[in-house]
Structure 1
């Protein structure tokens, strides 16, 4: 996997978003949990769950019939709230996974930088939030290399590169991240792009150029507003998200997106390191939906097919 100065290294790839959702996604609900006192998990109708990979799940999830998923639903087209529903690429992939596993995925939106910390508490079984799989996250390290937890395992399901979101017309003539030296940059706090911006600024100084002025916001929507108003030159984001924002925000009249395809890296479904059974079940389910075509259909629905993977990989990030 290649890397560049903007390679996500320490904290989320993420990205948050705005703009109207043009396609209404739906969560596919499959088999329910145990309806009897029997130790054998059942479907709602009373029969044993016959989903292909149901038996691979941990017993507590089999009985509950639900995988509780934490997400930050502000990141179209990956995950976004539409009324009371959370829709997008990730929920549609999860719905396909749920068919293989015989359970439903229940998404709950929270603040991005708190999601991983909720895994050991049992609040979530998994985190699926366009989160970059990084060694730091696998090892439970913060952006300064300090140990903050036991870490997580990732099942990698998507690939994204850096997207540079600029004001419509690109008044500063930005063509790559190298053009950001000496400029003001807006990013979402706690993401890998905040870390990437700091690393890029340091490189600018090393190269004898002016550092980047970085403004970090709690949501990417705030960073976008800063760019739109002219208060910042650009917002760093994941490529599919930047492209979606440029296409949809203000009817396509607010932003332009530039993709840096040289730094592609994986998004992963995160699970607690102790929950290897769930991790492996998710890996097998992802391979199954890649094989049967439902994975590709979920991506194509949202115009995200460029990020498709061909095989489930555990902890493939660097």
Structure 2
């Protein structure tokens, strides 16, 4: 989940066969019967949750009373977050479930547009945003691409490491080997992401070097960008590395796309928290460190084939 208003740059990016997923409107998954996703399940009764969770006392009173942390996400990035059978699943929901066991609360995920996540967080619609969001100074300070103040920034609790990747149609008909090969060619990307910024940066490098600019085609959601690449309208797409790898592995049984070159500018994904909500931020950091220490963190990453993104210790605002 690598921009101007909300996502994944030194951590670029910000990962079901994603190529077929379209999240229409906003999906709210709560702990009610069949609609309860794995990250929203109760740890038990209220009493058991409080007494059995080692970090419950670290939470602000608001969350101790409600027993819920509301999470904004954009569920289009398998294996990080996607929709299967009406439920939000993936690395982030499973990590949230593990965090919930440490904190004694449940995490309820709502899916919406990526470029609106931070705005929704700061407006109070969500308590956190967890969606493969690259932690960088721009988002921390609430700045646009030119450095102009757009609004409130956010704090991040860093929990994963990923870079940007280039993917092409299976067979790589244009022989694209790296992002540098996209000069003068059409490339597809989701709007508002750090990998859109990666394309803009490379496009400038193209023109500075006397070549033509990249024809950047930015779409509202990543599914549209993937469709553009698959149809041949764009020679390549750009995405978070773990997302691109998962896409190449699963879309059309592995026959739709392939990843080319190495990942670029790896950096941290962070759980976004409102700057004034320092109590929740600090509790989340302790919880991330706790699940790293007890092994449940690595178990989740390995389950989804995302083990290469593991970190040794959580950080606050570690992105540059």
Question: What does the per-residue CA deviation read over 1:215-247, in whole Å, with 9 as the maximum and x for residues that have no partner?
Answer: 100011101111111100111001110010001
State which of 295, 298, 301 in structure 1 corresponds to 2:300.
298
Are positions 1:29 and 2:44 aligned together? Answer: no
Q: In the alignment, which residue of structure 1 is the partner of 2:34?
A: none
3-state secondary structure, aligned to 1:49: helix
> Across the two proteins, how many residue pairs are aligned to each other?
298
| Counterparts of residues 74-223 of structure 1 (less than 5 Å) | 74-223=76-225
Higher helix proportion (structure 1 or 2): 2
State which of 261, 266, 269 in structure 2 corresponds to 1:267.
269
Contact 2:43–2:49 (8 Å) recurs in 1: no
Distance 1:124 1:201, change over 3 A: same
Are positions 1:284 and 2:296 aligned together? Answer: no
Distance across 2 between alignment mates of 1:259 and 1:95: 34
Question: What does the per-residue CA deviation read over 1:182-235, in whole Å, with 9 as the maximum and x for residues that have no partner?
Answer: 111101011111121111101111111121111100011101111111100111
Distance across 2 between alignment mates of 1:278 and 1:214: 38
Distance across 2 between alignment mates of 1:281 and 1:253: 43
Deviation of the 1:260 alpha carbon: 2.6
| Counterparts of residues 13-92 of structure 1 (less than 5 Å) | 13-14=13-14, 18-19=18-19, 26-27=38-39, 29-31=41-43, 43-45=45-47, 48-92=50-94
Distance 1:253 1:59, change over 3 A: same
Distance across 1 between alignment mates of 2:110 and 2:224: 21
Question: What does the per-residue CA deviation read over 1:68-94, in whole Å, with 9 as the maximum and x for residues that have no partner?
Answer: 000001111110111231100000011
> Which 4+ stretches in 1 moved above 6 angstroms?
none
Contact 2:155–2:272 (8 Å) recurs in 1: yes
* Superposition CA RMSD, Å: 2.1
Deviation of the 1:9 alpha carbon: 3.6
**Structure 1 stretch displaced more, 241-250 or 169-178:** 169-178
Deviation of the 1:150 alpha carbon: 1.9
What TM-score, normalized by structure 1, do the two folds share?
0.89
Distance across 2 between alignment mates of 1:282 and 1:271: 10
Unaligned 5+ residue runs, structure 2?
A: 1-7, 22-36
Deviation of the 1:253 alpha carbon: 0.5
Distance across 1 between alignment mates of 2:51 and 2:108: 18
3-state secondary structure, aligned to 1:130: coil
Contact 1:283–1:313 (8 Å) recurs in 2: yes
Contact 1:265–1:317 (8 Å) recurs in 2: yes
Distance across 2 between alignment mates of 1:198 and 1:47: 47
Distance across 1 between alignment mates of 2:291 and 2:169: 38
Contact 2:81–2:92 (8 Å) recurs in 1: yes
What TM-score, normalized by structure 2, do the two folds share?
0.88
